[in-house]
Amino acid sequence: MKYQELVDVYSALEATTKRLEKTDIIAEYLKKLDADTIGKVGLLLLGGVFPAWSSEEIGIGAKLVERAVAEAVGTTQAKVEDAVRDEGDIGLACIKLYSKKSQMTFFSQPLTINFVFDSLQKLSKISGSRSTNRKISIILELLSQASATEAKYLTRTITEELRIGVGDGIVRDAIAQAFDIDKKVVERAQMLTNDFSVVARTALLEGASGLSRLNLTPGTPVKPMLAQLSLPVAEIIPEMGTAICETKYDGIRLQVHRNGNEIRIFTRRLENITHALPEIVELFDEYLPHDDYIVEGEVIATRDGKPLPFQNILHRVRRKYNVEEAMENVPLKLYLFDVLYYKEPMIDEPLMTRRETLENIVDTSVDEMNLSTMIIGTPDNIDEIEELFNSSIAAHHEGIMIKDASEPYIPGIRGKKMLKYKAEPETLDMIIVGGTYGIGKRGDFVGSYLVALRDENDEFKTVAYAATGLDDATLEYLTGKMKEIEITTKGREIVVEPKIVLEIAFSEIVESPEYETGYSLRFPVVKNIRKDKGPMDVDTVERLLSMYKAQ
Ligand code: ATP
């Protein structure tokens, strides 16, 4: 299959903002594909060549791509940089540069989807000496055979910034529409496999029944079930009936998989962080040694037995070197709260059954290995639940979780069956899309951050400039990171790719035509850099609106 056909689809998708039109365009295209190509297209439509569960990435910086484009069109890198600045992104710059292309490739073959896909996957595997040159030559081979529009989307794919306004939801709906399958069946298959190549191929070859057979596999991470904010306990519990109420720990959520003798640890963003936590691997080897499983829990950092703030555990998990030293300085404690797989998938079992299984299989005789503190909550013991909340806060934890005891585990969903009740006021997780440099002696740093939320098409819409809450070292750190993902800088204004997530506190939500959402925040304060979150974990415009209505 020709890459140009996929590129035509990209162009059509970019030309509309309407979700239903995008779904139609993709569905029609998917129907034309064979089993091998559809798997690759399932990933390429989302701008990548690896499934969501994989920690592999193309991993090529913008500068390297600019160098390759310069060679492909026979100009200088400085000219390419100028074009990127003028046009706003590398893809549009290619359209401009290719129209003046001086080097012609003779006897060039049209690019195929297979060739593009395999070349892009190859890029992630190159390391070691001369790796830059080898990467350039792979990119160059693609670019020199490419048409202008192919180059536009190739370079955007390589820099992981496709910009066609297509997220998981649209691809899911398009697969359902193309093969006449219930959306829920496609969604479930995607949640369990986190791999649109498998989902699309299975939908084509085996339809709904094939998708229904897909299930969890220990070793492949699954998106976690998420929580909504709870109303006060006395209002919620009568609705829920029987609830499992647990201490909410302020650490990092871990999903621990055992497959044969291999233990792997993943974050909520499905990153494999096994290497950073050798003592946790040991804990599982010793205290949960049998059979294949997937369990979930929160890991926290402690000092003298007391929990430390969230940032401490984050530093531990991010560490690539001197892991041993960090192990001594930041002792960890684990609190398991769920089991998704034990010998067989367990997500369809009610939470109560899963909790009982967890209690039966985990040996908690050491201090580091625990199950979350829990009580069974009913309308008759609301005071005990409130007491659990108070004692959790007194022990420096975040609050409590309230979970419906009769519910299955639904991966990736933020539903009403799992609630969080915290002492601190609500915050929003937002993505940085730009910023303003300071003046005077702060002129080297971005001092004010333009933050945005995600809309229903997974596009980012601005809400506010946040300028308080950060010390100088953090300003310097953020400025450095923003320069790495800079799209343009004009005067004091910088525009960046949406990659960095900030947790923002505020006093009030107000209407404001100045921002793309039509709303803004009064007194926004940056509480944390959420390095454990990515663009897809950013809060939604819908949540902002419901908070606005509630206030
Ligand atoms: P927050 O910023 O409030 O942690 P979040 O967006 O990171 O929210 P949510 O799903 O909204 O994630 O809140 C639930 C999170 O609380 C879980 O992801 C998990 O990391 C953490 N947590 C701590 N203790 C528990 C527990 N006992 N059961 C479930 N989750 C827990």
The answer to whether the annotation marks 442 as part of a ligand binding site is: no
Q: For residue 240, what pLDDT is reported?
A: 92
Whether pLDDT at 458 is above 90: no
Question: Residue 550 pLDDT more than 90?
Answer: no
Nearest CA to ligand 1 atom 30: 248
Q: State whether the beta carbon of 492 lies less than 6 angstroms from ligand 1.
A: no
Residues 260, 393 within the same domain: yes
Q: From CA 415, how far away is CA 401, in angstroms rounded?
A: 13
Residue 512 has pLDDT above 60, yes or no: yes
Per-residue pLDDT band at 104 (split at 50, 70, 90): low
253 - beta bridge partners? Answer: 298
Q: Identify whether 41 is part of a domain.
A: yes
In the numeric block, which tokens belong to residue 224?
Answer: 């976690």
Q: Does 414 show up as a binding residue in the annotation?
A: yes
Task: Report whether residue 253 contacts ligand 1, using a CB cutoff of 6 Å.
Answer: yes
User: Is any atom of ligand 1 closer than 6 Å to the C-beta of 67?
Assistant: no
- Do the domain assignments include residue 221? no
Domain presence at residue 154: yes
Q: How far is CA 187 from CA 50, 174, 176, 199, in A?
A: 18, 11, 9, 9
Distance from the CA of 473 to the center of ligand 1, in angstroms? 28
What pTM does this model have? 0.80
Same domain flag for 386 and 439 = no
The residue contributing the CA closest to ligand 1 atom 19 is 253
Q: Are 485 and 498 in contact (CB under 8 A)?
A: no
331-348, pLDDT tens digit by residue? 899 999 999 999 999 999
pLDDT mean over 479-485: 93
68-91: buried (b, 16+ CB within 10 Å) or exposed (e) per residue?
A: bbbbbbebeeebbbebbeebebbb
User: Higher confidence at residue 106 or residue 44?
Assistant: 44
The pLDDT confidence band at residue 542, using thresholds 50, 70 and 90, is: very high
Local confidence band at 324 (pLDDT 50, 70, 90 cut-offs) = confident
Q: Can you tell me whether residue 262 is helix, strand or coil?
A: strand
The Å distance, Cα 452 to ligand 1 centre, comes to: 22
The reply, when asked if residue 67 is annotated as ligand binding, is: no
Q: Are 291 and 411 within one domain?
A: yes
Q: Which of 158, 185, 205 is the last residue of a domain?
A: 158
Q: Mean pLDDT across the chain, nearest whole number?
A: 93
Q: What number does the ligand 1 atom closest to the CA of 268 have?
A: 18
Task: Place 106 in a pLDDT band, splitting at 50, 70 and 90.
Answer: low
Task: Choose among 165, 116, 166: nearest CA to 142.
Answer: 116
Question: According to the model, what pLDDT value does residue 326 have?
Answer: 76
For ligand 1, whether the C-beta of 248 sits within 6 Å is yes
Pair (431, 396) in one structural domain: no
- What are the start-end ranges of the E strands in 332-394? 332-342, 344-345, 369-371, 374-377
144: left (phi over 0), alpha (psi -120 to 50) or beta: alpha
Nearest to 175 by CA among 12, 38, 4, 314: 38
Pair of tokens at residue 163: 């910009």
Which two tokens mark 27?
């569905």
| pLDDT for 389 beyond 90 | yes
Query: In this structure, what token pair is assigned to residue 340?
Result: 């998704």
Q: What CATH number does residue 54 fall under?
A: 1.10.3260.10
Average pLDDT over residues 433-445: 91
132 pLDDT higher than 60: yes
Q: pLDDT per residue over 198-245, tens digit each?
A: 999 999 999 999 999 999 999 999 999 999 988 889 999 999 989 999
- For the cut 90, the answer to whether the pLDDT of residue 12 exceeds it is yes
Residue 443 and residue 416 share a domain: no
pLDDT band at 440 (very low <50, low <70, confident <90, very high): confident
List of E strands, 343-444: 344-345, 369-371, 374-377, 399-404, 414-422, 428-437
* Domain identity same for 268 and 406: yes
Taking residues 367-388, report their average pLDDT: 96
- The CATH number of the domain holding residue 282 is 3.30.470.30
CA of 392 to the centre of ligand 1 (A): 14
- Mean pLDDT (whole number) for 525-548: 92
Boundary (domain end) residue, out of 389, 422, 455: 422
Q: Say yes or no: 447 and 418 in one domain.
A: no
Give the tokens for residue 425: 């006021």
pLDDT value at 69 more than 80:
yes
Do residues 367 and 439 share a domain? no
CA distances for 487 relative to 15, 307, 434, 494, angstroms: 21, 40, 9, 8
Q: What is the pLDDT of residue 107?
A: 55
What is the reported pLDDT for 318? Answer: 75
Helix (H, G, I), strand (E, B) or coil at 256: strand
For residue range 140-175, list pLDDT tens digits in order: 999 999 999 999 999 999 998 898 989 999 999 999
For 340, the domain range is 226-422
Whether the Cβ atoms of residue 433 and residue 502 lie closer than 8 Å to each other: no
Greatest distance between any 2 Cα atoms in the chain: 81
The protein residue with its alpha carbon nearest to ligand 1, atom 26, reads: 248
Confidence (pLDDT) at 151? 97
Centre of ligand 1 to C-alpha 297, Å, is: 10
Nearest to 350 by CA among 404, 401, 420, 413: 404
Which pLDDT band, with edges at 50, 70 and 90, does 425 fall under? confident
Task: Give 472 Cα–ligand 1 centroid separation in angstroms.
Answer: 29
Of the three residues 405, 422, 439, the one that is the final residue of a domain is 422
| 310 is an annotated ligand-binding site residue | no
Distance set, CA 29 to CA 3, 174, 248, 448 (Å): 13, 9, 46, 43
| Atom number, ligand 1, closest to the C-alpha of residue 248 | 24
Nearest partner of 92 among 159, 139, 186, 30, judged by Cα: 159
Q: Which of 248, 333, 417, 422 is catalytic?
A: 248
pLDDT, residue 383, reads 95
Is residue 185 in some structural domain? no
Is 316 annotated as contributing to ligand binding? no
Going by pLDDT thresholds of 50, 70 and 90, the confidence category of residue 289 is confident
**Is 79 among the residues known to form the active site?**
no
Statement: residue 105 has pLDDT above 80: no
User: Would 238 be classed as within a structural domain?
Assistant: yes
Does 148 lie in the same domain as 263? Answer: no
If asked whether residues 110 and 124 sit together in one domain, one would say: yes
> What CATH number does residue 537 fall under?
2.40.50.140
Question: Alpha-carbon distance 101 to 70, whole Å?
Answer: 10
CA distance 96 to 241: 63
Is residue 259 included in any domain, yes or no? yes
Helix axes 19-31, 35-44, angle to 10 degrees: 150
